[in-house]
Structure 1
Amino acid sequence: MHMRLMLLGGGNALGQALIRLGAEENIGFLAPRPPDQGWDAASLTQLLDDTRPDALINLAFYFDWFQRADVDVARLETQERAVERLAELCQYHQILLLQPSSYQVFDGARATAYSEKDEPQPLGLRGQALWRIEQSVRAACPRHVLLRFGWLLDDSKDGILGRFLAAAQTREELLLADDRRGNPCPVDDVARVMLSVLKQLDCAAPLWGTYHYGAHEATTALTLGQAVLAEARAFRSFTVNEPTAQAHAACADAADEPQHAVLACRKILNTFGIKPRAWRSGLPSLLDRFYRHV
């Protein structure tokens, strides 16, 4: 790797996965520790003035965007301003910006897979914030790659997977939608995709723009939950035998969460040669790492 890579958010689950994968290929990252109050416009300005990397991977707010259960509007507003400033700084210093986003920018009203050409219509506050962040990145920093991911699963205790497994150990019933569809994305697979993109950008290929990635075999929330529990029984026993089917419309988060969240991945395949991997194959190692942490 010829580029000097900076990783904001090296301490979170996706940042750690990226560092692990990079180490296997002798690819290192500058991974600065965030200030006590978190990254903001002032601290980012100082950081990039001092370091001047060639490329920056922005996972600074990964947990809030992809894993946190609740939405803190004030935090999202602060993060929006920080990313807007970050994009301006990257343009000023001619730094390539790799920025993650999410299926949540779509409303889920259509049953067919969303491509990069489809117009976002986010439902919830988080999706709306991510859409505004995408727009500010495009406007401020032409040399960017925006990666929208599907249902991202990681090994953080308080993330989506952690909350599901904790509930399965204590509740008598777990309700999951059997008519809500998406692409599960184990965190190691997401790290693979990001590193593959960086490698090709390192060859000075001007492949800027927006790309979708979701693991192979779109599925329902119910089927995903069944598969996770089947694998997790190798590590724990659960009070729940099987999740119970529920309609998307009856879910507590139906107003915010897209019912149909399948992403079409043709563009990232044709541009970078990145093939979707089966999400089921990533569950054993993901759960093994999760239970070694808890």
Structure 2
Amino acid sequence: MRMRLMLLGGGNALGQALIRLGAEEDIGFLAPRPPDQGWDAPSLTNLLDDNRPDVVINLAYYFDWFQSGHVDEAVLSNQERAVERLAELCQHHQFVLMQPSSYRVFDGARTTAYSEKDEVAPLDARSWALWRMEQSVRALCPRHVLLRFGWLLDDSSHGLMGRFLQRLEQSDELPLADDRRGNPTPVEDAARVILAVLKQLDCQAPLWGTYHYGGHEASTPLVVGQALMAEAAHHRQLKIDTLTAVAHAACTDAADEPQHGVLACKKIFNTFGIKPRAWRTGLPNLLERYYRHG
């Protein structure tokens, strides 16, 4: 790869997956350690002035955006300012900015898959922050790729999947929605997509814009939970043997979580040739890594 790649967030689950996949193809990343307080506008300014990469992959706030149960609004506000500054810096230095986003920018009111042209309608503070950050990137840095992902599953102990697996060993009952839909996406698959996009940008293809990606076969939390439970049973003694189906409206996060968050992935296929992978095929390796860490 001719381009110099800077990865912000190399220590989190998606960053680690990207580094692992890159290493298999001799693609390296400059992955600086964040300051103690995390990346903010001044530290990003110094970092980019000093290092001058060709591409910045911003996974710095991955956990808050994709895995955390709740994010404080003051934290989100600081992240917005940092992303705005990052976009300004990338435009100033003529770097490419790759920025992740989420299905959460939609309200989930429609039952068909969302394309990149559909109107957004965020439901909660995190979703609104993600949408404002998207707008900052578009306005300030024309050379950008915004990647909206579906339900990301990773091997971190405090992530969505980790919290679910822990409850399997501790709870007597675990309710999951059977009328909520999205694209489960193992973190290795998301990393594969990022790497595939980077390779084409390395060929000087000016394919800027917003793209959707989610694992093949839209599903419900109940079905995903059942698949994870079957795989987890190979590793641990579980306290629960069946999951309880409930309505989306009865879930504690119903006001914040889109009921229908399925993403249409035609544009990323037509532009980059990236085909969605079946999410189920990624579960064995994902759980293997999770339990090995634990």
Using the alignment, how far apart are the partners of 1:291 and 1:35 within structure 2? 29
Matches within 5 A, 1:58-77: 58-77=58-77
Deviation at 1:229, TM superposition (A): 0.3
1:181 aligns with 2:202: no
Using the alignment, how far apart are the partners of 1:255 and 1:69 within structure 2? 13
User: Aligned residue for 1:40?
Assistant: 40
Q: Aligned AA for 2:111?
A: A
Matches within 5 A, 1:228-247: 228-247=228-247
Using the alignment, how far apart are the partners of 1:243 and 1:190 within structure 2? 27
- Paired residue secondary structure (2:101): strand
Using the alignment, how far apart are the partners of 2:117 and 2:70 within structure 1? 30
Which ranges in structure 1 are unaligned for 5 or more consecutive residues?
none
- Paired residue secondary structure (1:7): strand
| 1:119-141 Cα distance to aligned partner (Å, 9 max, x none) | 11010111111000000000000
Using the alignment, how far apart are the partners of 1:194 and 1:6 within structure 2? 13
Using the alignment, how far apart are the partners of 1:175 and 1:243 within structure 2? 6
User: Aligned residue for 1:221?
Assistant: 221
Matches within 5 A, 1:142-181: 142-181=142-181
| 1:101-157 Cα distance to aligned partner (Å, 9 max, x none) | 000000000000000000110101111110000000000000000000000000000
Using the alignment, how far apart are the partners of 1:124 and 1:247 within structure 2? 20
Using the alignment, how far apart are the partners of 2:228 and 2:162 within structure 1? 11
| 1:82-118 Cα distance to aligned partner (Å, 9 max, x none) | 0000000000000000000000000000000000000
Using the alignment, how far apart are the partners of 1:136 and 1:283 within structure 2? 35
Using the alignment, how far apart are the partners of 1:128 and 1:246 within structure 2? 27
User: Aligned residue for 1:196?
Assistant: 196
Using the alignment, how far apart are the partners of 1:243 and 1:24 within structure 2? 38
| 1:219-240 Cα distance to aligned partner (Å, 9 max, x none) | 0110000000001111011111
Q: Aligned AA for 1:256?
A: D
Which ranges in structure 2 are unaligned for 5 or more consecutive residues?
none
User: Aligned residue for 1:78?
Assistant: 78
Q: Aligned AA for 1:97?
A: L
Q: Aligned AA for 1:7?
A: L
TM-score normalised by structure 1 residue count: 1.00
Using the alignment, how far apart are the partners of 1:244 and 1:50 within structure 2? 53
| 1:201-236 Cα distance to aligned partner (Å, 9 max, x none) | 000000000000011000011000000000111101
Q: Aligned AA for 1:50?
A: D
Deviation at 1:69, TM superposition (A): 1.2
Q: Aligned AA for 1:21?
A: L
Using the alignment, how far apart are the partners of 1:20 and 1:242 within structure 2? 35
Deviation at 1:292, TM superposition (A): 0.4
Using the alignment, how far apart are the partners of 1:291 and 1:242 within structure 2? 21
Deviation at 1:243, TM superposition (A): 1.0
Using the alignment, how far apart are the partners of 2:278 and 2:16 within structure 1? 21
Q: Aligned AA for 2:113?
A: A
Using the alignment, how far apart are the partners of 1:237 and 1:265 within structure 2? 37
Q: Aligned AA for 2:218?
A: A
1:112 aligns with 2:107: no
Using the alignment, how far apart are the partners of 1:71 and 1:51 within structure 2? 30
Structure 1 vs Structure 2: percent identity of aligned residues?
Answer: 75
Q: Aligned AA for 1:92?
A: H
Using the alignment, how far apart are the partners of 2:260 and 2:69 within structure 1? 20
Using the alignment, how far apart are the partners of 2:66 and 2:242 within structure 1? 25
- Paired residue secondary structure (1:31): coil
After superposing the two structures, state which structure 1 stretch, 108-117 or 233-242, moved more: 233-242
Using the alignment, how far apart are the partners of 2:72 and 2:138 within structure 1? 24
Using the alignment, how far apart are the partners of 2:171 and 2:290 within structure 1? 20
Q: Aligned AA for 2:131?
A: W
Using the alignment, how far apart are the partners of 1:46 and 1:153 within structure 2? 33
Deviation at 1:12, TM superposition (A): 0.3
User: Aligned residue for 1:31?
Assistant: 31
Using the alignment, how far apart are the partners of 2:266 and 2:164 within structure 1? 31
Deviation at 1:71, TM superposition (A): 1.8
User: Aligned residue for 2:211?
Assistant: 211
| 1:6-48 Cα distance to aligned partner (Å, 9 max, x none) | 0000000000000000000000000000001110000000000
- Paired residue secondary structure (2:49): helix
